[in-house]
Every structure is written in structure tokens, then in C-alpha cells.
């Protein structure tokens, strides 16, 4: 959805809270996926008829084989923590799959603290809207702080920035786009190692949109 807006030069008027609210109001959630009313009935019937062999492995995260950056790590963790799990349970399974490449992601412990609820010595998914909002707000504050640090670095240092936390970069670009701070996007983009943008269509979309906006303004 975000890519669709950026590629067409539309303003972004929603955030994570409103997006999750949109999902809850219009779709049904089952086995880690969102369905329309018609789709969920077909899916439940399909499960009942075929007994959905392999569903447990999908829900546990065992069939998610590629954990190469923070985004895929969070998807895997969410799928794996279908029921509350201890840190040792999570870390053993996570370390068998994690092969992080070109992304300066937080330690596993920090990702769990920032994105899940710690209760009775185990981590669980957020259940209520307030819990989702609390986690989103805490995560966004951290991402924005890291992005502003990168922006200052790009303005004050001469060398190229070779390794970044891509989720912080993506969130910061989104905030700059919303605030029409297109020059800040371009300033930071010029200091990034070219492989960072080449390997992320999402980040590249922001840069290309910012270039179009600046050219239009001038």
C-alpha cells in the first residue's frame, strides 16, 4: 500500500495505527493471514476438507527459511510465537535460520522487547489494540531517533554510510515524505552506499519520489 502511494506521488495520510485498524475493521485474521469474508469461508472449508497438512509447521515458522534482515526476522518471530515462548526457545530456533546480510538490525533480545509482550517469563504477541499501539509507538520513537542520527551523520561527515538499520531508514524516509522534507531524503540518499538503495525497492521508491517532488518544486 505504501509503495502504491509513493510511486504515484500521493500524500500519505495513514500510519501503522490506522493501517492495523483498517485491517481489523475490514478483514478476518486466521493462521497469520488476513482474508476477506468470502476468502475466509473458502479457507476454513479448505482446511477442514484437506486437514491442511503442514499448517503447524507454517504457523511455527519452520517453513519460513529466509531470515536475512529485520523485516523478515520480525515476520518469522511473529509466526513462531503463536503461543508464549521463553527466550531460550526462541533464540535456539532463530539462530538456526538467521543469516542477516547488509542490515544493522537489533539484537534478538531487543527485537523481542520492542515488538512483543513479556509476561510470566515468556514473550507473546500483543493481543489488544492498546497493546498494539503501545508497541508501535515505542518502536517508532526508536526508529525515528536512529534515522535522525543518520541524517545528522550525512550532513556532517564526508564518508559514505555503508551499513544502516533499514527499518529506521524506511521509517525516516516515510516521515520526511509526509512532512514534505524531500531534500532531507535526497541528502541522506547521496551519502548511502549505492548497494543499500539497489537492494531495496522500498527505499529507492522514496528517493525517486523525492527527486520528482524537488524537481517539480524548482
Query: How high is the mean pLDDT of the chain?
Result: 85
DSSP assignment letter at 192: B
In the predicted structure, residue 105 carries a pLDDT above the cut 90:
yes
Whole-number pLDDT of residue 50? 60
- Is the separation of the CB atoms in 65 and 73 below 8 Å? no
Residue-wise pLDDT tens digits, 47-101: 666 655 444 544 444 444 578 899 889 988 988 998 999 999 999 999 988 888 8
Characterize 70-97 residue by residue with b for buried, 16 or more Cβ atoms within 10 angstroms of its Cβ, and e for exposed.
Answer: bbbbbebbbbbbeebbeeeebeebbeeb
pLDDT, tens digit, 9 for 90 and up, residues 187-218:
999 999 999 998 888 899 899 989 988 886 54
Which of 167, 165, 179 lies closest to 104, judged by CA? 165
Burial pattern 2-29, b for ≥16 Cβ within 10 A else e, equals eeebbeeeeeeeeebeeeeeeeeeeebe
Q: Contact 175/147 with Cβ under 8 angstroms?
A: yes
pLDDT of residue 133: 87
Q: How confident is the model at residue 166 (pLDDT cuts 50, 70, 90)?
A: very high
Block residue for cell numbers 543499500: 196
Angle (nearest 5°) at CA 21 between 19 and 22: 65
Residue 112: count other Cβ atoms within 10 Å of its Cβ. Answer: 20
Q: What is the pLDDT of residue 217?
A: 56
Q: Quick check: 5 and 29 in contact, CB under 8 A?
A: no
pTM: 0.73
For the segment 10-25, the average pLDDT, to the nearest whole number, is: 75
* Sign of the dihedral through C-alpha 177, 1, 78, 131: positive
**37 compared with 182, residue with greater pLDDT:** 182
Render pLDDT for 50-59 as a digit per residue (tens, 0 to 9): 655 444 544 4
d(C-alpha 195, C-alpha 5), whole Å: 24
* Separation CA 96–CA 101 (nearest Å): 15
Name the 3-class secondary structure at 82: coil
User: Higher-confidence residue: 28 or 2?
Assistant: 28
CA distances from 104 to 27, 69, 161 (A): 34, 8, 12
Quickly state the pLDDT bin for 165 (edges 50, 70, 90). Answer: very high
Cell of 95: 539462530
Amino acid at each position: 500500500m505504501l509503495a502504491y502511494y509513493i510511486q504515484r506521488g500521493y500524500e500519505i495520510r495513514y500510519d501503522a495505527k490506522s493501517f492495523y485498524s483498517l485491517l481489523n475493521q475490514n478483514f478476518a485474521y486466521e493462521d497469520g493471514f488476513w482474508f476477506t469474508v468470502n476468502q475466509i469461508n473458502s479457507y476454513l472449508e479448505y482446511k477442514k476438507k484437506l486437514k491442511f497438512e503442514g499448517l503447524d509447521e507454517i504457523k511455527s515458522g519452520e517453513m519460513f527459511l529466509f531470515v536475512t534482515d529485520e523485516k523478515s526476522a520480525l515476520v518469522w518471530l511473529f509466526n513462531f510465537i503463536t503461543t508464549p515462548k521463553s527466550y531460550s526457545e526462541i533464540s535456539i530456533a532463530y539462530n538456526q535460520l538467521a543469516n542477516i546480510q547488509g542490515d544493522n538490525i537489533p539484537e534478538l533480545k531487543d527485537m523481542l522487547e520492542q515488538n512483543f509482550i513479556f509476561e510470566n517469563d515468556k514473550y507473546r504477541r500483543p493481543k489488544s489494540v492498546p497493546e498494539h499501539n503501545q508497541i508501535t509507538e515505542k518502536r517508532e520513537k526508536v526508529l525515528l531517533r536512529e534515522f535522525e542520527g543518520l541524517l545528522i551523520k550525512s550532513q556532517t561527515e564526508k564518508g559514505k554510510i555503508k551499513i544502516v538499520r533499514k527499518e529506521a531508514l524506511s521509517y525516516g524516509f516515510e516521515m520526511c515524505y509526509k512532512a514534505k522534507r524531500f531534500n532531507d531524503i535526497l541528502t541522506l540518499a547521496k551519502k548511502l552506499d549505492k548497494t543499500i538503495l539497489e537492494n531495496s525497492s522500498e527505499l529507492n521508491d522514496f528517493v525517486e519520489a523525492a527527486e520528482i517532488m524537488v524537481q517539480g518544486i524548482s
